[in-house]
A and B are shown apart, each in its own frame.
Chain A
Amino acid sequence: MTRSLTMDRPDDRNRLDAMAQGVIGQPLDRPDGPAKVTGTAPYAAEYPVDGMAEGVLVTATISKGEVTAIDEQSVLSMPGVLAVISDQRMTARAAQGGAGEAPVQQVRQVQYYGQPIAVVLAETFEQARDAAKHLKVTYREDDDAVTDPHDPAAPTETYDEPIDQGNLAQAMAQAAYAVDVTYTTEGHNSAPMEPHASIAEWDGQTLTLHSSLQMLAYNQKELADSLDLAPEQVRLISPYVGGGFGSKLGISPEGVAASVAAMQLNRPVRVVMLRQQVFQCVMRRSETTQRLRLAADANGRLTGFGHEARVSNLPEEEFAEPVTQASEFLYPGEHRRLAIELARVNLMTAGSVRAPGEAVGMQVLESAMDELANAIGMDPVELRLRNIPDQHPSEGIPYSSRKLVECLKAGAERFGWDGSDRTPGQRREGEWWIGTGMANACRVHNINEAQARVTLSPDGTAIVASDMTDIGTGTYAILGQIAGEMLGLDPADVLVQLGDTTLPPGSGSGGSWGAASTGSAVFEACEAIREHLAEQLGTTEEELTLKDGFAIAGNRRVALPDLLAGAEVERTGHFKPGEITEAFAAAMYGAFFAEVAVNAYTGETRVRRFAGAFSMGRVLNEKTATSQCMGGMVWGIGSALTEELTFDARDGHLVNPDLAEYHIPVNLDVPHLDVVLVDERDPAGSPLQAKGVGELGICGAAGAINNAIYHACGVRVRSFPMTPDKLLAELPDP
């Protein structure tokens, strides 16, 4: 039996707080923890399959043109080599998140350097890798490749409808204080620690793919469409995912290549991307150029607000880094302009990388806000407090729960913020300039359609099942806690099964919507089970208390196995976003506070202290929510100081396609992170009154570091990442 809910209105009932078990929100250990720390949790490439062939992708060494010949004979005589496949069903790109259809195929038409063009199959990985390196490929090269995203000659288009309100230029001219600045950010790679990997098995009817993916219900359609199969003929299995951060939202080229090869060779095939391929042919976050115009009155209230960005992507891709997403509603200013220009380039696909939009939009906006605070001579916290709009500045709709003020106050207190004197270059310790900075955090709240099945077994334990994924986000933990709370069970008595398309389609993990969406489907299913139990007990759902495996109503208290009398109860919850998504400006908020040390001689920046206060609606598990925030802050440190994709503007090849040259933060780069979770319930967020937490911690984080660098040494770096070379020339005399 399925119980559906289309969320059109806020759910003010707050049912979870009315429950008695007391496990929701608790900092419980993850049930998947012991498997992960002992190495027994199987990831995509780790299933023992008999008779498996190994495949290695071959990628293009030109940026635009055509593969005219692949000399298969050059490798077929090598030991163990089985085949070279360059089939039109293979995919040249990864699917964008939520696509639900095949990405660009035509692997022989080259659109970017690093594009998959073939897969080499052999008995062993060593043989396949060697043969892939030796494969001779001939190209016809076009001479009109655009390999520099900043090239003024690159074709551009306006993305979406720009927002134009009032007269921003005039507001800037008449402002008591005005800031008009342009920042740049470089491209990023998700770089999950587990490279994309797939094992394909084809039995003539059904294709089974063990793969590392975030959104199985969509990936199933993408793979089926690529292969001209019906979705029912494709089964995806992905119970453990070694990080995704957007890069595994869509089906990726190795999965399709493994499938095509398995069908052709009639035996199981494993294809694992080399680390360089994860960099070159999955997804990048676009570089951005962002112009911020902030006009404020004498009291520091914004009267004009402009945020215009230029980003890039391949031809035919609809995605453009939505840089201005939070700028639409975070700050007031009746004179507004928000616009995104999309340049078409021959560089790898740009797509979702953790917090698309806000990750780079917020860090620039918050740096510009700091420039405004300095221009006014105001504590930047005070400037934020004075700029909280009453309603959405363009759409006029109300905000759902918004705890920005509470976050600013809680974060400032935890950090020990003193914003009274923002004069730079005041504090010196040895070779180091010391400074502090802050920034707002903001990320839009998304919800997505989701189904989950909950089965209450005759013995009084429960099973939650969905094709939802846990990509490190804590899904196993929180779904167990939701069911435990609703059904009055210890979460240890709730088995959560995920990551298999034979289970009801969940929301997938992405856009911070997983917990609120699939969690709400679990909640719905549990409500339906509660109604059934209430009926059995002769009471109403509202009057029914479930706790510690007992059903209680009035003076009756019955153990669940007795009430169930040998029957199981199974219900499927189906959650759909409805009018609610248009009725409110719903978002997660927070505030970052950082202390940095800038080396007076080398320009090196070290983050010494980093605190964040965040609100995300109801916290479902304090431990995993805190970890998500920390992870975001670590990304903020990378975005601030080290992470940048560097393309050779001459031929469009990625110069730093590995973890030695693309610098993600290491342990020593990260101080102890201080996370405060601000208590909140958001009835418009979801029936759980929860929102999302997977991305908030990055949205603005690098801005706080930028501002702290300025406060430390007086250098305003308008180019991320803020590597030492960008500081060196402007550093004050040591």
Chain B
Amino acid sequence: MQLTINGTAHEITGDPRTSLLDFLRHDCGLTGTKKGCDHGQCGACTVLVNGQRVNSCLTLAIMQDGHEVTTIEGIGTPDAMDPLQAAFVKHDGYQCGYCTPGQICSAKGMLAEAANGWASFVSEDLDGKVELSAEEIRERMSGNLCRCGAYSNIVDAITEAMSTQTAGAE
């Protein structure tokens, strides 16, 4: 059984009870993905599976056969940060940093969802183009808890990264 993590193939050989989260952290040494609750309640373990955001504590590694997983380590490095990561640093979108990889992976997935027109709880319109207002970002990022309370800055960071990306695309 095999899955791809950040472009590298990994064999799944261990205990079938191993969550994707523990597989990443313990078996692959990819500790950038954090465990905050192990029960799908905090979002610290958010990774992208086939491009969609997933709580990696809520799925078993063996269920990911053939899937492509992207973790925070696959998004950027200290010397080559993704614009979203750079925006988190600039806006102080973190304090202790423990929820941060999950926030950033979640934001990646969230931006893709919005680009694909997915509506949210606060959307006025269920079809059509999604405008990511601050309110929309807040709602869509509400699965990622931050006990340090960096929410205001997280929204600012995502807003900035979004606008530079859009500007780049134009």
Q: A186 an interface residue at 8 Å Cβ cutoff? A: no
Q: A163 an interface residue at 8 Å Cβ cutoff? A: no
Q: A38-B81, A659-B36 are in contact. Are A241 and B96 (CB under 8 A)?
A: yes
Q: A655 an interface residue at 8 Å Cβ cutoff? A: no
Interface string of B131-142 (1 = CB under 8 A from A): 000110111011
Which one of B22-30, B48-56, B111-119, B162-170 contacts A? B22-30
Q: A242-B97, A668-B139, A668-B142 are in contact. Are A633 and B76 (CB under 8 A)?
A: no
Please tell me which one of the listed residues B42, B86, B139, B153 contacts residue A659 in the complex, with CB atoms under 8 A apart: B42
Q: A36-B100, A126-B15, A631-B149 are in contact. Are A275 and B38 (CB under 8 A)?
A: yes
Q: A195 an interface residue at 8 Å Cβ cutoff? A: yes
Q: How many residues of B contact A (CB 8 A)?
A: 66
Q: A546 an interface residue at 8 Å Cβ cutoff? A: no
Q: A37-B88, A38-B76, A39-B31 are in contact. Are A670 and B18 (CB under 8 A)?
A: no
Which one of A25-33, A251-259, A302-310, A317-325 contacts B? A25-33
B95 with A627: CB separation less than 8 A? yes
Interface string of A99-119 (1 = CB under 8 A from B): 000000000000000000000
B72 with A38: CB separation less than 8 A? yes
A243 with B148: CB separation less than 8 A? yes
For B76, list chain A residues within 8 Å (CB).
37-38
For B36, list chain A residues within 8 Å (CB).
193-195, 275, 659
CA of A333 to CA of B22 in the docked complex: distance in angstroms? 58
CA of A628 to CA of B146 in the docked complex: distance in angstroms? 13
Q: A720 an interface residue at 8 Å Cβ cutoff? A: no
Closest to A623 in B: B92
For B95, list chain A residues within 8 Å (CB).
243, 472-474, 624, 627-628, 631
Closest to B73 in A: A39
For B31, list chain A residues within 8 Å (CB).
39, 42-43, 45-46
Please tell me which one of the listed residues B15, B73, B154 contacts residue A667 in the complex, with CB atoms under 8 A apart: B154
Please tell me which one of the listed residues B30, B81, B96, B146 contacts residue A34 in the complex, with CB atoms under 8 A apart: B81
Please tell me which one of the listed residues A37, A242, A471, A632 contacts residue B34 in the complex, with CB atoms under 8 A apart: A242
A37 with B145: CB separation less than 8 A? no
Please tell me which one of the listed residues A126, A272, A471, A626 contacts residue B96 in the complex, with CB atoms under 8 A apart: A471
A670 with B97: CB separation less than 8 A? no
For B73, list chain A residues within 8 Å (CB).
38-40
Please tell me which one of the listed residues A30, A39, A124, A193 contacts residue B89 in the complex, with CB atoms under 8 A apart: A30
CA of A37 to CA of B36 in the docked complex: distance in angstroms? 16
Interface string of B65-100 (1 = CB under 8 A from A): 000000111011111010001101110101111111
For B138, list chain A residues within 8 Å (CB).
667-668, 670
What's the minimum C-beta distance from A272 to chain B, rounded to whole angstroms?
A: 8
Closest to A627 in B: B92
Q: A274 an interface residue at 8 Å Cβ cutoff? A: yes
For B144, list chain A residues within 8 Å (CB).
667
For A734, list chain B residues within 8 Å (CB).
none
Q: A37-B100, A275-B36 are in contact. Are A192 and B152 (CB under 8 A)?
A: no
For B32, list chain A residues within 8 Å (CB).
38-40
A193 with B147: CB separation less than 8 A? yes
Please tell me which one of the listed residues A127, A130, A275, A626 contacts residue B37 in the complex, with CB atoms under 8 A apart: A275
Closest to A675 in B: B152
CA of A35 to CA of B33 in the docked complex: distance in angstroms? 13
CA of A667 to CA of B153 in the docked complex: distance in angstroms? 10
Q: B14 an interface residue at 8 Å Cβ cutoff? A: yes
For B129, list chain A residues within 8 Å (CB).
none
Q: A193-B146, A194-B36, A241-B96 are in contact. Are A125 and B26 (CB under 8 A)?
A: yes
What's the minimum C-beta distance from B135 to chain A, rounded to whole angstroms?
A: 8
A575-611 interface with B by 8 A CB criterion:
none
CA of A526 to CA of B79 in the docked complex: distance in angstroms? 31
A635 with B26: CB separation less than 8 A? no
A447-478 interface with B by 8 A CB criterion:
471-474
A243 with B92: CB separation less than 8 A? no
A38 with B22: CB separation less than 8 A? no
Closest to B96 in A: A472
B38 with A274: CB separation less than 8 A? yes
Closest to A123 in B: B15
A245, A626, A670: which has the most chain B beta carbons within 10 Å?
A670
A276-298 interface with B by 8 A CB criterion:
none
For A36, list chain B residues within 8 Å (CB).
94, 97, 100
For A33, list chain B residues within 8 Å (CB).
88-89, 92, 94
For B20, list chain A residues within 8 Å (CB).
none
For A193, list chain B residues within 8 Å (CB).
34, 36, 42, 44, 96, 98-99, 145-148
For A474, list chain B residues within 8 Å (CB).
95
CA of A396 to CA of B109 in the docked complex: distance in angstroms? 59
For B86, list chain A residues within 8 Å (CB).
37
For B75, list chain A residues within 8 Å (CB).
38
Q: A620 an interface residue at 8 Å Cβ cutoff? A: no
Closest to B141 in A: A667
A29, A37, A632, A635: which has the most chain B beta carbons within 10 Å?
A37
Q: B35 an interface residue at 8 Å Cβ cutoff? A: yes
Interface string of A663-674 (1 = CB under 8 A from B): 011111110110
Q: B104 an interface residue at 8 Å Cβ cutoff? A: yes
Q: A192-B98, A193-B99, A471-B96 are in contact. Are A275 and B39 (CB under 8 A)?
A: yes
7 more contacts with CB within 8 A, not counting A38-B101, A474-B95, are A30-B92, A37-B104, A39-B100, A194-B34, A471-B96, A627-B150, A668-B138
Q: Which residues of B contact A (CB under 8 A)?
A: 14-15, 17-18, 22, 25-26, 29-39, 41-42, 44, 71-73, 75-79, 81, 85-86, 88-90, 92, 94-101, 104, 122, 134-135, 137-139, 141-155
Q: Which residues of A contact B (CB under 8 A)?
A: 29-30, 32-43, 45-46, 48, 124-127, 130, 190-195, 240-245, 272, 274-275, 471-474, 623-624, 626-628, 630-635, 658-660, 664-670, 672-673
Across the A-B interface, the 5 shortest Cβ-Cβ residue pairs: A39-B32, A634-B149, A242-B98, A36-B97, A472-B96
